[in-house]
Structure formats: structure tokens, C-alpha cells
Amino acid sequence: MPVHVITHPIVQDALATLRRTATDAAEFRRHAGRLTTALAVEATRTLPTRDATVDTPLGQAPAQLVDGEIVVVPVLRAGLSMLDAILDLLPSARVGYIGLQRDEQTAVASTYYSKLPEQIAGARVLLVDPMLATGGSAVAALDLLSDAGVRDTQVLCIVATVEGIATVEAAHPQAAIYTASVDPTLNGQKFIVPGLGDFGDRLYGTD
């Protein structure tokens, strides 16, 4: 399974801000958006294009326009932090939502909401969730997309783990992953170490 770790200095600088305990919610949101923009640019490098011609003030120029159906699917809640940055790049993309919640004791994810666009099967889907920890949430979301007929999925996350990637690969080997970091371990509560803590809580000021 392709795993793309984006080592661009701007991505790594934004990741450092997200990891830092002292970063407040406003800065956290801003840097999550900046980092997502760079991840999305990489993940969309292979989008199909169609040839066109555009009128410039001085003549005509050959052009390439983004083509094909794109659906962005944030995993609630934390995936919402990545949505606007992607829609800025792909304003005509459609959006689906998947709501998943990890049990605090077992860390097993359960689905509480799913709303996917009609006729999603032929689309390229960008599944966005900032934390890929055990991989259980990503597999649950990919299962839902697969059941809807989706065959072309890219997973965008801010921090992944070795274990989470292996879990996703075993269940959905065709899904490509784009991330800013592959962290080494999980702690006893299945939080990523060193990670950045609870993404949703830092984003929304809950705990």
C-alpha cells in the first residue's frame, strides 16, 4: 500500500505547532488548515485533467483543468478541521460525512452517522481524519466507502502510526495514505506517542 510521508518544511513546521502543548485552540485550527492544504496538494497530484483553451488579455493559452468526480469525506469530529482547506483547493468537490467515536475504555470505534453523496462509486474519495492511531476508525470508514462501491480512496491524516498503517493495509491494501508523520507507538489508552494528544479536544476545547 502506498504511504506518502510529506517532509516539506512548511508541513513539518505546522506539525511542530500542532504537537506543542502550549498551542491554543485558535493556533491549532490555523495550523491544521495550513498543513492540510499541503497534504491535499500532494494527494491530488495524480488527479485527471482535461485540455482546454483560455482567453488571456493577449491571446489564447492552452490550459489543463481538473477533471473527474471528487468527494471529500471528513470523519467526525476531528476530520472537520481539514475540510475547508481541501474545499478551497477543490471547490466543486462533493462532501460526505462519517461519524465515528472511539470507546474510551476499549478504543474500538463505532459508527454513529453516515451520509454519503449519491453515485459515489466512480468518484475519487479523499477520506480525511487527522489521527490514524490503531487504524480502527480508518478501517470502519473505508468499509463504509467500499460498501458504497468506492474503489479509489486516498486517506489524508496528520499523524499516523506504524500499527495503524499495518491495520489499514491488511483490510484495504488499495487505499493510499498521505501523512505528515509516522509515529512509533501507542500508549495503554491507544493514544499516539509522541503524537499531539486528543485532536478533537484540542480543536474544540473539550476534554
Shorter beta-carbon distance to ligand PRP: residue 23 or 111: 111
- Whether the Cβ atoms of residue 203 and residue 32 lie closer than 8 Å to each other: yes
Instruction: Tell me if residue 167 is catalytic.
Output: no
Q: Shortest approach of ligand PRP to residue 65 CB, angstroms?
A: 33
133, 148, 156, 157: residue in contact with ligand URA (rule CB under 6 A)? 133
All cell numbers assigned to 80:
472537520
Under rule CB under 6 A, residue 137 binds ligand PRP: yes
Indicate the residue type of 187: N
Angle, vertex CA 64, rays to CA 62 and CA 69, nearest 5: 155
C-alpha dist (Å) from residue 122 to 89, 138, 184 = 20, 20, 35
- Binders of ligand URA: how many residues, by CB under 6 A? 8
Decide if residue 198 touches ligand URA (CB under 6 A): yes
106, 147, 151, 185: which is the annotated catalytic residue? 106
Q: Which member of 74, 96, 195, 200 binds ligand PRP (CB under 6 A)?
A: 200
> How much is the CA Rg of the chain, to the nearest whole Å?
17
Query: C-alpha angle 170/111/38, rounded to 5°?
Result: 65
Exactly one of 40, 136, 142, 180 binds ligand PRP (CB under 6 A); that residue is 136
Strands (E), the chain: 3-5, 49-56, 59-66, 70-76, 94-95, 97-102, 109-115, 124-128, 131-132, 152-156, 159-161, 176-179, 181-183, 185-186, 192-193
Q: Which listed residue (102, 124, 153, 161) is catalytic?
A: 102
Residue 192 near which of ligand PRP, ligand URA, none (CB within 5-8 Å, type-dependent): ligand URA
Among 71, 109, 131, 150, binds ligand URA (CB under 6 A): 131
Binding site for ligand PRP (CB under 6 A): 75, 77-78, 100-102, 107, 109, 129-138, 164, 190, 199-200
What residues line the site for ligand URA (CB under 6 A)? 131, 133, 191-192, 195, 198-200
Give the residue numbers marked as catalytic.
Answer: 102, 106, 198, 201
